[in-house]
Structure 1
C-alpha cells in the first residue's frame, strides 16, 4: 500500500511516452496569468466584500501569501520532476501510490469542477451581453439547467425554470476542441485573451484609483476576522478561503512541465511570475473598487450577517437602498465603473470579462487532462486514455472525455458554491505538496535541485498551516465534500488501480539496480505475473 514510483522511473516513463516540448517562460507565465485572472476577480469580488467588507484587502493578501509559499514548494518539485501530473506525480514519488491516487482524485475538484463552474458563469455573461447589446432573447428553457433539491438523500430536479444550459455546453466543447488541436495553438489564443484581461483591469485601476475616498474604507472589518459567532465562512479569513479561488490555476503551470523547454528554469519562472503579477493586480483592483464606491456588506432583516447568495442576502439586495451596493452586483467591476460615470468603459469591461473566462476554462481543462494523462500512463486509469494523437501530439482521448464531462456538469448544474468546493480539493493538494518537498529532502537529499525552496523547514510547514486554516474556514458544506469525494475515490482505487497500476504489475521502466547488480531487465515484483504470460497480457 505504500509502494512508490521512483523519480528515475517517472522521468523515464515521461521520456518514453513524452509530450512535445514547445513552451517558453513567457508562454508559461501567460498560461499562469490566464488561469488565475478570471472568475475570481471578475465575479467573486462582490462575494468577498459581502463576507469581509473593505477588509477583503487582507483577504487577498492572506490567500496570495498561502499560494506564494505553496508555489515555492511546487517550484522545487516541478524543477526536479519536469513531467505532467502536478501534485499527483510528486506524491507518487514521495508518499506512495494510495496517497498519490487520492491527490489526483482531489485535483478533479480543483480542475474539472472549476471548469464547469466557469463555463456556467460564462454563460451568464454571454446571455447578458447578447440580450443587452443585440436585444436577442435566448429561449428561457435553454438558459440554465434544472434547479436541484434534496428529497432525503435523493436529488430531485425541477425543470420548470430550465432544461439545459446550452451556452455552457458550447464554450466547454469549443475549448476542448482547441486543446485537442494542440498546446502551442492553445497558448497563442490564451495570450490574446490574457492581453484583453490585463488591459481591462489596467483601465479599471487607472479610472478608479484617482477617485478613491478614504471614508469608504471605514468600518474596515464589519464582520471581524472570523465572522460573527454562529456563522461559517464569514469575516476576513472566511473571505480569504473563498477568494482563494481567484488564485487557483497558478499550479496549472506545473502540469505543463513536460511540454516546456528547459523546465528546470522556466517552470519556477512561470509559477512565481504569474502569481506575483496577479497578486499586484488584485490588490490594486480591490483598492479601486472599495475606494470608489465602498464595499460594505448588506445585513439581514434582524441585522445579522448573511452569506452571499443566500435567501436573506437576496432579500437584502432587493431593497431599493441596497440596489447600488457593490456586494449586490453580478458584474462587480463593470458596476463600479458605471457608478463613477464611466458607463461605456464599464460595458467594455463586461465584454472583456466575457472574452476572458474561456481562457480560465482552457487552463482548467488543460490541467485536468494532463493529470488524467499521467494517471493513465501509470496504469491507475485505463491506459487507452494516454494515447497521443499522431498529428496533433496531444492526449486527445482524455481531453475529449474530460471536456464532455465538464460540459455535462456545466449544462445541468448551477454555479452555486462550486468555487468553495473547488477550493477544498486544491487546498488538500497544496497541503500534500508541502509535505512531499520536506520528505524528499530527507529521503533523497543529494538529488540535484535546480530550484530549491528557501528556508524549506519554515516555508513548507507554513504552507501546511495556511492550507489547513483556509480549509477550516470554508463553509461547512464545502468542507464535507472533500472526505465524501475521497471515499468514492478510494473505492475506485481499491476496485481498479491497486491491481492495474504498473507498479503492481512489475512494469517499471527504469531498473533500480543495486550497486553490485549486473545491468539487465528488471525482474517482476513478488506475486506479479511473468512477462508475456496470459495473466500479464490481460
Structure 2
C-alpha cells in the first residue's frame, strides 16, 4: 500500500536522539519570540501587493490571514510538543499520514522556505534601491534592479543578498541572540514610528470604497498576506523548552499573533489614509478602468505613467512604508524606515534558508534524498552541498520573479503543509489517544477543521498561477519519489535508527541562534 509506510513516533524520536531540554521559557518569552519571528517580512514587503488586490479592504485581509494562522498554530503546537525534532510538518505527517504524504509535504516545504527566502530577497532589494536613491543619490538601473515582469533584466541586489546568506551558511557563521534581539527592536521601533506619524493624519475618505475589488479581492489579498505571518512555528517548536506548555504555548501563540495582527492593522490604516492623495491606496487601473494584476508588465507601465505626473500610488512602490512617509514630506524618516527594513530582512532570508536545510536533512536522514546532499564540509562542518543547492534555487527565483508571485507560490506550499498538520493532529487523537502530549490543542476537531477549511479557502483565493504551480511542482515530486526515493526509503527497507552521525541530526548539533 502506498499509504502504509508510517514511521512511528517512537522511531522518529529514536532517530533524532534528542537530548533533554531545560524548561525555562514562560508566556512572555514565547510571545516575544513569536513577535520577533513574524514581524519583518510581509508587512515591509507585501503591503503594496495587498493594496493592488484589495485596496483599503486589505485591513480585513490581515484579520482573515491572522485567524487562519492562529488555528493552524494551535494544531502545529500539539505535534511540535510531542515530536520536538527537525523536519517540522514533514516529520509530523510521516508519523501520522504515511511516507507518501510526508514526501509531498516535505516537497511543498521547499516552496515555503526556499521560494519564501527568494521573496524576502526581492523585497530587500526594493528597500536597498530606494535607500540608495533617496539617501545617497545612487541610482541602480532598472534593468539590474528588476526582473523581466517589472521591466528589467535581472534583480542583481536580490542575487547578491541570497549569495551572501548562502556563503554565511556554508562557512558556519551564526547569528547571535543579541543581534537577533537588536533586529527585533529595530523592526518594532520602525513600525511604531510609522504608526505614530501616520495614524494622527489619517483621512477617512481614503477608505471609500472599502471593497473596490469585492470580497474575492479581500480574500486574495489575505492569501498573499498569509506570508506576513509565517514564522509563528518558532513558538510551537519551543514547546519542549517551555514551563507549563499547556498554559504558556497558547498564550505565546495567540498573544504574538494578536499583537502582530493589531500592529499590522494600524500600519495598514496608516498606509491607506495618511497621504493627501485620496486614491493613494486604491488599486491601479488602466486608462480604460480595467484592474491590473500585480506583478505584471502592464502594471509596471501604468505605474511609470502615474509617477511621471507625480502620482505614485501605494500599489506601485517597492518600499511601501518608506514611500508613504516620503509622500507626506517625512523624507528622512521614510529613509529610516527603509534602513530598518534593509537591516532586518537579511536575517529572515537566512532563517528561511536554514529552515529549508533542516527539512532536507530530515528527508536525507530518512533515505528519501541522496545522502551526498547532507555531506559535511571537512573544514566548516556544515552541509555545504545542500546549502549551495538551496542557495542557487533562491538566487535563481529572486533574479527573475517579482515579490508578489514568489510570495503567492510560497504560500501555496505553506497552506498545503499547514492543512496536513491540522489533519494529522486530528488523526493522531484517534489512532494514539494515550500518548503524552505536553500541549493539547483545545477543541481539537473544531480548531483542526477550521484550520483545514481556512487553508483550503486561502489556497482557492490565490492567483491561478500560484494554484497551478504547486500542482506541477507536486507532480514532479511524485515522479522523484516513485523513481528514486521509494526504493531507497529507510522505512521501506526496515531501517529504524537511521544514522549515528550527529552532524546528520541538526537538532542535536549546535543550533543556529
Q: CA deviation at 1:92?
A: 0.1
The one of 72, 86, 96 equivalent to 2:98 is 96
Contact 1:179 1:186 in 2 (8 A): no
Are residue 402 (structure 1) and residue 390 (structure 2) matched? yes
Q: CA deviation at 1:339?
A: 2.5
Change (3 A) 1:148 1:222: closer
Q: Report the more deviating stretch, 239-248 or 461-470.
A: 239-248
Q: CA deviation at 1:430?
A: 0.9
Q: Report the more deviating stretch, 263-272 or 187-196.
A: 263-272
Q: CA deviation at 1:139?
A: 7.1
Q: Report the more deviating stretch, 28-37 or 403-412.
A: 28-37
Aligned to 2:224: 242
> Could you give the per-residue CA deviations for residues 198-221 of structure 1, whole angstroms, max 9, x where no partner exists?
110010011112112222222211
SS at 1:506 equivalent: coil
> Could you give the per-residue CA deviations for residues 357-394 of structure 1, whole angstroms, max 9, x where no partner exists?
11221221121111111111111112344456799776
* Unmatched tracts of structure 2, length 5 or more: 499-513
Aligned to 2:50: 48
Change (3 A) 1:188 1:386: farther
Aligned to 2:491: 503
**Structure number with larger C-alpha Rg:** 1
Aligned to 2:161: 171
Contact 1:35 1:363 in 2 (8 A): no
Alignment of 1:446-461 (within 5 A): 446-461=434-449
SS at 1:462 equivalent: helix
Q: Distance in 2 between matches of 1:267 and 1:367?
A: 21
Aligned to 2:294: 308
TM-score by length of 1: 0.82
Aligned to 1:219: 209
Q: CA deviation at 1:405?
A: 3.0
Are residue 475 (structure 1) and residue 463 (structure 2) matched? yes
Aligned to 1:105: 107
Aligned to 1:13: 15
Contact 2:87 2:358 in 1 (8 A): yes
Q: CA deviation at 1:73?
A: 0.5
Aligned to 1:516: none
Contact 1:79 1:450 in 2 (8 A): yes
Q: Distance in 2 between matches of 1:435 and 1:9?
A: 21
SS at 2:214 equivalent: coil
Aligned to 1:335: 323
Q: Distance in 1 between matches of 2:167 and 2:253?
A: 26
Q: Distance in 2 between matches of 1:332 and 1:81?
A: 40
Q: Distance in 1 between matches of 2:238 and 2:377?
A: 19
Q: Distance in 2 between matches of 1:353 and 1:412?
A: 21
The one of 129, 132, 135 equivalent to 1:130 is 132
Q: Report the more deviating stretch, 113-122 or 27-36.
A: 27-36
TM-score by length of 2: 0.85
SS at 1:75 equivalent: helix
Aligned to 2:282: 296
* Unmatched tracts of structure 1, length 5 or more: 150-159, 227-234, 511-538
The one of 396, 416, 423 equivalent to 1:435 is 423
> Could you give the per-residue CA deviations for residues 198-256 of structure 1, whole angstroms, max 9, x where no partner exists?
11001001111211222222221122112xxxxxxxx11111111112122323555x6
Alignment of 1:19-34 (within 5 A): 32-34=34-36
Alignment of 1:253-268 (within 5 A): 261-262=241-242, 265=245
Q: Report the more deviating stretch, 273-282 or 201-210.
A: 273-282
Contact 1:109 1:425 in 2 (8 A): yes
> Could you give the per-residue CA deviations for residues 285-342 of structure 1, whole angstroms, max 9, x where no partner exists?
1122223135222323222322223344345432366714222322221122122332
Change (3 A) 1:389 1:447: farther
Contact 2:249 2:439 in 1 (8 A): no
Contact 2:37 2:231 in 1 (8 A): yes
Change (3 A) 1:48 1:416: closer
Change (3 A) 1:313 1:407: closer
Q: Distance in 2 between matches of 1:253 and 1:398?
A: 26
Q: CA deviation at 1:480?
A: 0.5
RMSD: 3.2
Contact 1:34 1:359 in 2 (8 A): no
Q: Distance in 2 between matches of 1:173 and 1:19?
A: 35
The one of 178, 186, 189 equivalent to 1:196 is 186
> Could you give the per-residue CA deviations for residues 441-478 of structure 1, whole angstroms, max 9, x where no partner exists?
00001111111111111111111111111111111111
Aligned to 1:532: none
Change (3 A) 1:31 1:405: farther
